[in-house]
Amino acid sequence: MILTFADQSFELHPTGAIFWPKEELLIISDVHLGKITHFRKHGMPIPNDAALENFEKLDQIISYFNPAQLVFLGDLFHASFNNEFVHFKSWVAQQTVPITLIKGNHEVLDDATYASFGIEVEPYITFDTFRLQHYPVEESSNVPVICGHVHPAYLLKGKAGDKIKLKCFHATEIQLTLPAFGVFTGSHLIIPKPQDQIVLLTGERLIAI
């Protein structure tokens, strides 16, 4: 599905990633690697192979778009060092696409460690018509931003009183918020304004409402 934001066209994907064809740039937010292993260590009954699903999703989306660059919009990692860090280091070593991380509030590794992985770290990246950053736009800003952090979701209601909470892309005039890419992340219900654009993720498809 194509969405126009900040005078640019972006392709939305059911995984929660977006692709900017003009620059062949793949953008992913809030993977929260390490979170599954962290909760397993504290006794939560999560399947052992659940942690690998994030890497399978990453491989899927990179293979699909074949980007020239990959940007993570923050919260790439969630918890203290565990086996998922080792897996991630091996995963990065196998990639041919340059990777940049915009630091989020959950990052636990220092910049030197990311650099040793081959990852460039930035506080934000500014293009001609918009900025990539982890946090939502400040009220005083007039620069459109693409961000993460919020983990947006929408409550879809049926006529029979049934309802379902789904991750979503949320676009306002000045902000495009990506859903959390990670498979074990919470979400925050948003209340959009009439002029906003909402695109729901069902797992295999996108639904614009």
State how far the Cα of 134 lies from the Cα of 26, in Å rounded to an integer: 15
pLDDT digits (tens, 9 = 90+) for 133-181: 999 988 778 899 999 999 999 999 888 989 999 999 999 999 999 999 9
Instruction: Note the pLDDT tens digit of each residue in 59-78.
Output: 999 999 999 999 999 988 86
Between CA 40 and CA 82 the distance in angstroms is 11
pLDDT at residue 24, as a whole number = 98
Residues 147 and 135: their CA atoms lie apart, in Å, by 6
Across 30-34, 121-125, 193-197, least confident range: 30-34
User: Topology of 2-208 in CATH?
Assistant: Purple Acid Phosphatase; chain A, domain 2 (3.60.21)
Spatial separation of the C-alpha atoms in residues 89 and 201, rounded to whole Å: 29
For residues 179 and 16, the answer to whether their CB atoms sit within 8 Å is yes
Q: Do the beta carbons of residue 129 and residue 8 sit within 8 Å?
A: yes
Are the beta carbons of 209 and 200 closer than 8 angstroms?
A: yes
Query: What is the SS3 assignment for 14?
Result: coil
User: Judging by beta carbons within 10 Å of its beta carbon (0-12, 13-18, 19+), is residue 138 exposed, middle or buried?
Assistant: exposed
Contact 148, 187 (CB under 8 A): no
CB 204 within 8 A of CB 176: no
Q: What is the pLDDT of residue 45?
A: 47
Q: Is the pLDDT of residue 87 over 80?
A: yes
The predicted pLDDT at position 186 comes to 78
pTM (2 d.p.): 0.90
